[in-house]
Structure 1
Amino acid sequence: MDASFFRCKQVLVVEDSAPVRSAIKIMLQQMGFESIHLSRDANDALSRCHDIPFDFILCDFNLGDGKDGYQLFETLKQQALMPPLCCFIIISAESQRQLVHGVIELQPDDYILKPFTFPILNERLIRAVKLKIALRKVYLNLFEDNYTAAIKECDSVVSLKPEFAFQALRIKGELLLNTEQYQIAEKFYKAVLADKPLPWARLGAAIAAFYLERWDDTELQLADLTQFDITKVEALDWLSHLLVKYGRYETAQQTLYQAVLLSPQNIKRQRTLSNLNVIIGDKEAAARINAKLVAAARYSVEESAENHLNHARSLIDVAYNKNPLERTVLLQNASQILDSVSKRYTENSWLKAINVVRSRIFAAKGQLIEARKPLLENGVADKAEKMTIDSCMDGAKAYFELGDIHSSQFYIDKLASYLINNDYLTETQKIMLKMEKVRHEALKATIKQISTEAAAAYQDALFNQAFYLYCETFDHMPTNSIIALNILQTASKCSNLPIKSLRYCKQAIKLLQAFVLEKSNKDKFQHYVILLREQYPQLVVRTRRPKANS
């Protein structure tokens, strides 16, 4: 390619090592580049990309503190800061499997291993730009999200530029899958495979068969494709997804864990793995993943308050199964995370999500009255209020843990309306939602049965029996004011309740004192308290007298 071609092109070199930057600049000058821009870190590179539409970006993978090359590429794509024909090339001194698999998933235009010479750089840049030129109309339509036109342009490349046919075919196959044309995609991939058994075409055919629910054939293909570097991570991903379809959750978790080890910077996959651990009951593993996810997402396009909140949420889930000392430590850690998040993220939506997590911390400590306060500050979300899927799930858990089944059901219904994507992460979220529904139905059935028995016992003047049944219901719904009133009403008619049973009366009184009751219920409450304190003086709440002024 003539040097005059590169003379008018804009190129950006992102490299934290000054000597390497200088060496690459000299090579680029030899090729004919005149507009050469140098950046030592991702932030400076981002700033330059806002001002200049670069034709080439050569980026080192490791850029020291801050964003790395992977995260910079993600950000540039998300913010549409790269022109559609820009060639992005990753440079790295490392060849570890994790890096290689991560780069394959990232799909830059090329990957060059350090140290490299001028001929290698020259060859790779020419190869990348020739491909961009050949598929120019494809990339322009992709940039405009015009997938139908992009598919047609792929066909044009195949017929007119056969030397670039495989690249065009691969893009076409991915577009057919992305636009959910699964039967056409399967037929397309079979035609490609009839000519040559390319791993990416085999993977595409397996994905199409997955969506067409021919899972037996899919499993064999995906298992075989885990042997090829170019398809290994994606094949493990889809194989894990398939195993979930079969209900083989533990094997699915083990399979996806292998994919995460190979490409740990894929945040969505890590979230899916965390969900799978929750599904199989390994909440401690989920908490460990969420802790790593916070670090992995830092500087990436996936960095948000949600990552930190999910870490805190998972610590609360673990705390419920620990001894008092371990529970205290875990809940303290969750509180510290909330304090940090509340300082960094001040938007109202995040403050509401923080309040829900704080409520769950109080509930895990057994401080149920305190647990209601953050939820009262929020109020139950209305139907139109936008929430994240994880915040919605957390709202359902928070109200469930306080025994407010009605409010918890509201969030479950709201959550169901959000789970509309057709991806693996959403699949695991649907399973978790189903698990919550099962918990709800079981609790509602239990409460209904006990409440019916309690009401019948009360009608038959079996007050002691009715009292203990209402107490059992109160264990399930410890912040329900109606059950609290029933306990006090029934207790006032009992004779000689054991001292240990009076804790339910104390808990009911404390709860109702914190409620704003309607006048009729307030009068009943005061009446029952008077009767009970006459019979059980220990129910009197003693208050300290203020010290006299000296």
Structure 2
Amino acid sequence: MNDIYLSIEIKKYEDALAQVELFLATPKNAEFFPIALKIKGEMLCAAGHFKQAKEFYLAVLKVQPFTWAQLGLVNSYLRLDEDESAEKLVLRLAFKPESQLAAYDLLTALQIKQNDFETALECVLMATEISPRSIRRHKAAMDLSRITHDYEIQFEAAKKIVRFAKNSIHDKPENYLNVARSGIDYAMTTDAADTERLIKQAKEYVRQLKHAFPKAEMNDQLQVISARLFYLNDEKDNALALLEKLDPENWDNDSVDSLLDKAKIFHDLGLYERSQAMLEQIENRCKSGAEQGEIFLHYIHQEKDEKTSIKRSSKELNNTAVGYYRRGDLDNALETFTQAFTLMPKSTSISLNLLQVIALKGSKLGLNDNTTKLLKNCIRNIENSNLDEEQQERYHKIRLTLDEVANN
């Protein structure tokens, strides 16, 4: 077995497969056959022989319903694009305590494959509840929450990575920086009442970083964070002044998260070409190396598209849209609130604002397919939120207007 494990460790999966076949052909090894069979299935998948893996797992399950064989079969189905079969089996496994965690991982992979990132995020969050110390799963939650624009979950996942990485080989300055960055992302999209609290938390993690890693060279990264904080406080000139001090010669050595932070502040300050160039650099880095996975690359593609079509920041969009609405310019209000909702689909206030404009336009002109889809998304977000008394009253009035539109 030692030779098999060595081949696996150095990723020589075909060699490991041949060795395990030889092991299984030797009768004196009979007591170790269950573990050897499990390894055989894993090596078939690792070597890319998914059709053989499927046939192997089905054969094993005819003899005994091993949990590992059922999970392996789900993985084989996924790789062979037999998603319906994968879903049926994995949902059954999700209800069994011994297979629940692995089942949620496979469910996450299935939903990602189908581009259902909202459901994928729900699955990975369920997995983190079962295994709260898994840094890998919290990183997956961060990447998925970026795609879904769920800034609160992104912030919480970043904090958990810091908490569970402490006193381990996973503890590094980038973890603390990512909490500060996520806190700023969240502050950019939340109500003004929460902004100060989030800024304080972002600054606290910067302080923790300096205490935990006093010798770390993080000047550029900290300047970008300071620039983003200036922008949050409407101090654009100070933010620009800090960016001018950055040394672009060092950017090739930056992490993708550091480059992403630069892309965000460049965009917010109107330096659109520099922002797009930074995102392209990240995209090329992701394609050429294994530093980040497919989920992060999907997010970068999404960021490029959104930042090309939407020039203003989420806060600017909301303020501009409110101005249009107050002047009675419902067409521009609808367009601008829709852009704000694209960047902040979890914001209750944005959802209410957009829904109100849709209801008013609908009462005059009726609803079309595009506004109906937006309306449903707004309602879903509002009804999944904890509304205060004022918001509940406002929502009730909007629904009365929508009911009148529907009855006309």
Do these two structures clear the TM 0.5 threshold for a shared fold by scoring above it?
A: yes
Amino acid of the structure 2 residue aligned with 1:276: L
Partners of 1:184 and 1:301 in 2: CA distance? 37
Contact 1:305 1:345 (C-alpha < 8 Å) held by counterparts: no
Does 2:238 match 1:359? Answer: no
Q: Note closer, same or farther for the CA distance 1:144–1:319 as it changes in structure 2 (3 Å cut).
A: closer
Contact 2:14 2:47 survives alignment (8 Å): no
| Superposition map of 1:364-375 within 5 A | 364-375=232-243
Q: How far, CA to CA, are the matches of 1:192 and 1:374 in structure 2?
A: 63
Query: How far apart are the structure 1 equivalents of 2:2 and 2:182?
Result: 47
The CA deviation at 1:269 is: 0.5
Distance 1:208 1:295 in 2: 35
Q: Given the superposition, is the C-alpha separation of residues 184 and 353 from structure 1 closer, same or farther in structure 2, using an over 3 Å criterion?
A: farther
Paired residues of 1:342 and 1:354 also in contact (CA < 8 A): no
Change (3 A) 1:386 1:307: same
Give 1:221's aligned amino acid.
L
What residue is the counterpart of 1:151 in the other structure?
Answer: 17
CA distance in 2, matches of 1:193, 1:355: 58
Deviation at 1:275, TM superposition (A): 2.8
- The unaligned stretches of length 5 or more in structure 2 are 313-408
Deviations 1:298-341 (A, max 9, x none): 12332111221111111101212344453233223312322332
Match of 1:474 in 2: none
Matched, 1:412 2:279: yes
User: Aligned letter for 1:235?
Assistant: A
The corresponding residue for 1:198 is 66
TM-score scaled by length of structure 1:
0.52
Structure 1 position 143, deviation (Å): 4.0
> For residues 58-95 of structure 1, what are the alpha-carbon distances to aligned partners after superposition, in whole Å with 9 as ceiling and x for unaligned?
xxxxxxxxxxxxxxxxxxxxxxxxxxxxxxxxxxxxxx
1:241 to 1:338, Cα distance in 2 relative to 1, 3 A: same
- Counterpart Cα distance in 1 of 2:254 and 2:80: 32
Q: Give the letter for the 1:400 counterpart.
A: H
| Alignment partners' CA distance in 1, 2:52 and 2:255 | 34
1:362·1:370 contact (CA, 8 Å) conserved in 2? yes
Percent identical across equivalent pairs? 25
Distance 2:72 2:143 in 1: 26
- Cα shift at 1:189: 2.5
Out of 241, 251, 255, the position equivalent to 2:119 is 251
The alignment's TM-score, normalised by the length of structure 2, stands at 0.68
**Partner letter of residue 404 of structure 1?**
L
Determine which of 198, 209, 220 is the counterpart of 1:330: 198
* Aligned: 1:212 with 2:80: yes
SS in 2 for 1:419: helix
Task: Output the CA distance in 1 between the equivalents of 2:43 and 2:249.
Answer: 38
Query: Are the equivalent residues in 2 in contact too, given 1:199–1:228 (CA < 8 A)?
Result: no
C-alpha spacing 1:159/1:351, structure 2 compared with 1 (3 Å): farther
The answer to whether the Cα contact below 8 Å between 1:257 and 1:273 also exists between their aligned partners in 2 is: yes
Match of 2:258 among 378, 383, 391: 391
What's the counterpart of residue 169 of structure 1?
A: 37
Q: What amino acid does structure 2 have at the position aligned with 1:432? A: Y
Q: Deviations over 1:363-387 (max 9, x none)?
A: 222211221233333334678x133
Aligned-partner residue type, residue 278 of structure 1: R
Tell me which of 340, 346, 349 is aligned to 2:208: 340
Mapped pair 1:221 → 2:89 = yes
The equivalent of 2:297 in structure 1 is: 430
2:253 aligned counterpart, secondary structure: coil
Q: Distance in 1 between matches of 2:243 and 2:46?
A: 40
Is the CA contact 1:200–1:230 (under 8 Å) kept in the aligned structure 2?
no
Question: Is contact 2:4–2:19 with CA below 8 Å preserved after alignment?
Answer: yes
Opposite residue 405 of structure 1, the aligned amino acid is Y
Cα distance between partner residues in 2 of 1:307 and 1:262: 22
Q: Does 1:310 align with 2:178?
A: yes
> Quick one: distance in 2 between partners of 1:336 and 1:234?
35
2:5 corresponds to: 139
Q: Secondary structure at the match of 1:340?
A: helix
What per-residue deviation string (whole Å, max 9, x for no partner) do you get for residues 1-41 of structure 1?
xxxxxxxxxxxxxxxxxxxxxxxxxxxxxxxxxxxxxxxxx
Which residue of structure 2 lines up, in the alignment, with residue 49 of structure 1? Answer: none
Give the structure 1 partner of residue 350 of structure 2: none
Residue 181 of structure 1 deviates from its aligned partner by 3.6
Count how many residue pairs are aligned between Structure 1 and Structure 2.
308
Contact map agreement 1:174 1:204 (CA 8 A) in 2: yes
Q: Which whole-Å CA distance do the structure 2 matches of 1:434 and 1:364 have between them?
A: 25
* Cα displacement string for residues 424-480 of structure 1 (whole angstroms, at most 9, x for unaligned residues): x723313321321122220369xxxxxxxxxxxxxxxxxxxxxxxxxxxxxxxxxxx
Gaps of 5+ in 1: 1-134, 446-550
Change (3 A) 1:347 1:310: same
* Contact 1:271/1:290, CA 8 A, preserved across alignment: yes
Query: Does the C-alpha gap of structure 1 residues 163 and 386 become closer, same or farther in structure 2, counting only changes over 3 Å?
Result: same
Looking at structure 2, the residues matched to 263 and 195 of structure 1 have their Cα atoms a distance apart, in angstroms, of 31
AA matched with 2:2:
R
Q: 1:230 and 2:98 equivalent? A: yes
Q: Secondary structure at the match of 2:95?
A: coil
- CA drift of 1:162 comes to 2.4
For 1:309 and 1:428, the matched residues in 2 are separated by 20
Q: Would the aligned equivalents of 2:267 and 2:311 in 1 still touch at CA under 8 Å?
A: no
1:160-187, Cα deviation, whole Å (9 max, x unpaired): 1222112112122223333434334333
Match of 2:267 among 383, 400, 409: 400
**Change beyond 3 A, Cα 1:260–1:352:** same
Which of 107, 111, 133 is matched with 1:265 structurally? 133
Matched, 1:441 2:308: yes
Aligned pairs for 1:25-40 (under 5 A) are none
Which structure is larger by alpha-carbon Rg, 1 or 2? 1
2:305 partner amino acid? V
CA contact (8 A) 2:155 2:179 kept: yes
Instruction: Tell me if the contact between 2:13 and 2:46 (Cα under 8 Å) persists in the aligned partners.
Output: no
The offset of 1:144, in angstroms, is 4.2
Q: Tell me what 2:148 maps to.
A: 280
Indicate how the Cα distance of structure 1 residues 392 and 195 shifts in structure 2: closer, same or farther if over 3 A, else same: farther
- Looking at structure 2, the residues matched to 433 and 342 of structure 1 have their Cα atoms a distance apart, in angstroms, of 29
Contact persistence 1:290–1:314 (CA under 8 A): yes
Q: In 1, Cα distance between the equivalents of 2:135 and 2:230?
A: 30
Q: Describe the SS at the equivalent of 1:320.
A: helix
The letter for the 1-side match of 2:298 is: I
Q: Structure 1 residues 209 and 419, CA, compared in 2 at 3 Å: closer, same or farther?
A: farther
Question: Hey, which of these two has a bigger chunk of strand by percent?
Answer: 1
Letter in 1 for 2:23: V
2: CA distance, partners of 1:381 / 1:407: 15
Task: Tell me, in whole angstroms, the C-alpha distance in 2 between the residues paired with 1:230 and 1:421.
Answer: 38
